[in-house]
Chains A and B, each alone.
Chain A
Amino acid sequence: MRKVVWLFVVVASALAMPAANAQLVIEITRGQENAVPIAVVPFGWESANAAPFDVAQVVAADLQRSGRFAPLDRKDMIDRPTAGDQIRFQDWRYLKSDFIVVGKLTPDGGDRYSAQFELYNVLNGQRLTGQRLTATTGSMRAMSHRIADIIFEQLTGIRGAFSTRIAFVSAEGTPPKQQYTLIVADADGENQQKIANSSEPIMSPAWSPDGQSLAYVSFESKASAIYVQTLRTGERSRVSARAGINGAPSWSPDGSTLALTLSRKDGDVDIYTLKLQSQSLTRMTFDPGIDTEPTWSNDGRKLYFMSDRAGGPQIYEVDVDQPNRATRVTFEGTYNARPRLSPDGKQLAVVHLDRGNFRIAIVDLQSKGVQVLSPGRQDESPSFAPNGATLIYATQDRGRGVLATVSVDGRVQQRLAASTGDVREPVWSPFPSGR
């Protein structure tokens, strides 16, 4: 069954940074067969004026995008309860909803509002959770995502990732004249903000562990250089502009150090670590082959990376305290590249050559088993959602670069296409801080 959800980008200018124009359209290309039916009733609003925001619509869209829930269509709702004591459970059982969310929005004076919501099990009438959250007009959408997070966690046991963001690169125009833009958006594609823009390539964005900054590669000075930019202020510093390649930045879990790829003058492509405060550089690999795409273990003691030292690209690991002692991790297939560790540290997502197609695969670090997850021909740049339930990656659709997500069991697939140009290199932010 194909469900199409069109989401329109609201131009939000709460932050100083300009909003980007490229809309992202989300299409659920494959949903879970046994998605849980849930009714998210429009929130009550006791005023003559129109409600300032449709909280229930955002909550329902989030739950639907997860692929695990099938929200009831509003026009099928015969009743609009706004609190638990108004729910006639029999009606909702008749409508085959397993769960129901009710709530209301109230003005707190000025630009402040509060939302009270409750989640009930329709089958037995049990109240599962309920909370009161507050917001301003500008943070109403974020508050709605938080409500979806709470409901999702209550019902699945998995922390919701609806309040997270994605960074990606867009390229517009026809080669060789293209315009490259680094964009940050909410996980549902809304709220896009341009972070950097250049007629020279921009690539390899990487979130700092606190979610406040991005490291990325820009060729704006006609050579590659790595920049670190604070999103809120736009403040930016160039952290590596050495001769040759400056690429593939990856933050250590404590945020103090970047792993990166340099080729220096002699062209030997190797991995280094760079302490951001002291600028001290330590070489991690010494092989004459190409060593690149480093990513850290969750304890910050190891780097996983790609090397073609044995001929084709394969994944290796190296202890940061014992540089040059790399051991091979992947053995299945002739091409495994661009590793990213799952949040639980048990699996690597990689780009894997699968019978002539580049696809996203999961490598189990214990069994070394490889499971191909994506269906494309040219899939690349996998990135885990911080809850580990979903991967976002780049793929091609009729010659255009688009983004796609797949659940780690492969069952739920979505596509996010920009209205113009190519989009690529999606990276999922960490959870927002403060929980």
Chain B
Amino acid sequence: MRAAQLMLIVMSGLALASCKSKPPTLPDASNQPEETSADTGRTTDTDVSGRVDPNEQLKQTAIQAGVIIYFDYDRAEIKPEFVPIVTAHAKYLNTNSANKIRLEGHSDERGSREYNIGLGERRAQAVRRALMLQGVTEAQLTTVSYGEERPAVQGSDESAYAKNRRVELVYGR
């Protein structure tokens, strides 16, 4: 009995270890179907006449520019390389003032959990302010902070931490 228990625990540990050794995959626009199709309910880029819907194209451009903004440890400033993402989404939201975006703030796992909720909120607010500075209205924006509770990847090293400190821009959730 005792040995069997031990085996179970050891085996579950091994299973976990093997999961962890897989290279973490970064979520990108191509594998996030719920974010690309939900907003207008349409899944095609073209209307009946075969022309590209300019609004849908703006949205796709924004999503292709990126839907995740990464942050440095304990920081909430948007780094220069992520400003084009903000600009692309602002452009779409400004021409579609009825559409909304949800800003989900996250932190890495270090430190206490509720403080990390605060840090995730601070990051989401930084993106919110940047979008508002580019003309997006308050009514189009909601923020939520998940702190360290919904990591993008598992792991306790700097590469995992860097992928988890982020704000995700989500349409239609």
Residues of A within 8 A of B (CB): 6, 8, 25, 174-176, 178, 180, 201, 203-204, 219, 222-224, 243-245, 247-248, 261, 263, 265, 267, 269, 290, 292-293, 306, 308, 313, 335, 337-338, 351, 353, 358, 378, 380-381, 396, 398-400, 417, 419-420, 424-425
Minimum CB–CB distance from B111 to chain A (whole Å) comes to 6
Instruction: Kindly list chain B residues whose C-beta atoms are within 8 Å of the C-beta of A420.
Output: 12
Binary flags per residue of B119-155, CB closer than 8 Å to A gives 1, else 0: 1011011001000000000100011111101111111
A208 CA to B24 CA, complexed, in Å: 40
For residue B128, which residues in chain A have a CB less than 8 angstroms away from its CB? 267
Other A-B contacts than A247-B117, A353-B111, 5 sampled, CB-CB below 8 A, are A223-B142, A267-B124, A267-B128, A308-B115, A399-B17
Given A176-B152, A245-B145, A290 contacting B118 (CB threshold 8 A)? yes
Closest to B9 in A: A419
Please name all residues of chain A whose beta carbon is closer than 8 Å to the beta carbon of B142 when the two chains form the complex. Answer: 223, 243
Question: Known contacts A223-B144, A293-B115, A338-B114: does B150 contact A175 (CB below 8 Å)?
Answer: yes
- CB-contact partner of A419 in B12, B20, B114, under 8 A: B12
Give the distance in Å from the alpha carbon of A308 to the alpha carbon of B19 in the complex.
36
Q: Known contacts A224-B144, A358-B110, A378-B109; is A176 also within 8 Å of B150 by CB?
A: yes
Contacts of B124 in A (CB 8 A): 267
Docked pose: A419 CA to B150 CA in angstroms: 21
With a CB–CB cut-off of 8 A, which chain A residues contact B113?
Answer: 203-204, 338, 380-381, 424-425
8 Å CB contact of B146 from A201, A204, A308, A351: A201
Residues of A close to B48: CB separation below 8 A: none
Contact of A269 among B2, B118, B144, B155 (CB under 8 A): B118
Q: Which chain A positions have C-beta within 8 A of B38?
A: none
- Contact check: which of A201, A338, A353 meets B150 at CB < 8 Å? A201
**Cα–Cα, bound, A400→B27 (Å):** 23
- Pick the residue among A174, A222, A358 that contacts B144 (CB under 8 A): A222
Min CB distance, A339 to chain B, in Å? 10
Is B30 engaged at the interface, CB distance under 8 Å to the other chain? Answer: no
Report if A292-B143 is in contact (Cβ < 8 Å); known contacts: A358-B110, A419-B8, A420-B12. no
Residues of A within 8 A of B138 (CB): 265
B interface vs A, CB < 8 Å?
2, 5, 8-9, 12-13, 16-17, 19-20, 27, 109-115, 117-119, 121-122, 124-125, 128, 138, 142-147, 149-156, 173
Which residue of the partner chain, among A6, A203, A265, A398, contacts B5 with CB atoms under 8 Å?
A6
Complex: chain B residue closest to A266, CB-CB: B125
Distance, CA A357 to CA B33, complexed state (A): 39
Contacts of B12 in A (CB 8 A): 419-420
B117 closest partner in A (C-beta) = A247
A337 in complex: contacting residue of B13, B115, B144, CB < 8 Å: B115
Interface pairs A-B: 6 shortest CB-CB:
A290-B118, A267-B125, A201-B149, A338-B112, A337-B112, A248-B114
- Look across to chain B and name the residue whose beta carbon is closest to the beta carbon of A290: B118
- Counting chain B CB atoms within 10 Å of each CB, the highest count among A174, A243, A267, A308 belongs to A267
Contact between A174 and B19, CB atoms less than 8 A apart: yes
Of A243, A338, A378, A419, which contacts B110 at CB under 8 A? A378
Contacts of A223 in B (CB 8 A): 142, 144
Q: Chain B residues with Cβ under 8 A from A396's Cβ?
A: 156
Q: Which of A174, A381, A398, A425 contacts B154 (CB 8 A)?
A: A174
Q: Does A25 lie within 8 Å of B112, measured CB to CB? A: no
Q: Which residues of B contact A245 (CB under 8 A)?
A: 117-118, 121, 145
Q: Are B16 and A292 in contact (CB under 8 A)?
A: no
Expressed in whole angstroms, the minimum distance between the Cβ of B95 and any Cβ of chain A is 24
For A248, list chain B residues within 8 Å (CB).
114, 117
A306-B115 CB under 8 A given contacts A267-B121, A267-B125, A420-B12: yes
A8 (CB) vs chain B CBs: closest residue? B5
Contacts of B122 in A (CB 8 A): 267, 269, 290
Contact residues in A for B8 (Cβ distance below 8 Å) = 419
List, in ascending order, chain B residues with CB within 8 A of A313's CB.
111-112, 115
The answer to whether A176 and B144 have CB atoms under 8 Å apart is no
Q: Are A6 and B115 in contact (CB under 8 A)?
A: no
Q: Separation in Å of the B151 CB from the closest CB of chain A?
A: 4
Provide the residues of chain A in CB contact with B20, threshold 8 Å.
Answer: 399
Can you give 5 A-B contacts (C-beta < 8 A)?
Answer: A203-B113, A223-B144, A313-B111, A358-B111, A378-B156
Kindly list chain B residues whose C-beta atoms are within 8 Å of the C-beta of A265. Answer: 138
Task: Tell me whether A306 and B121 are in contact (CB under 8 A).
Answer: no
CB <8 Å contact, A292 and B115: yes
- Shortest Cβ distance from B127 into chain A, in angstroms? 11
Give the CA-CA distance A203 to B109 in the complex, in Å: 14
- Give complex CA distance A113, B158 in Å: 58
> How far apart are A6's CB and chain B's nearest CB, in angstroms?
6
Write the chain A residue with the least CB distance to B8: A419
| Contact of B17 (CB < 8 Å), options: A176, A358, A398, A417 | A398
User: B152 to chain A: which residues have CB within 8 Å?
Assistant: 175-176
Query: How distant is A250 from chain B, measured CB to nearest CB, in Å?
Result: 10
Give the most central of B16, B111, B117, B154: most A CB within 10 Å: B117
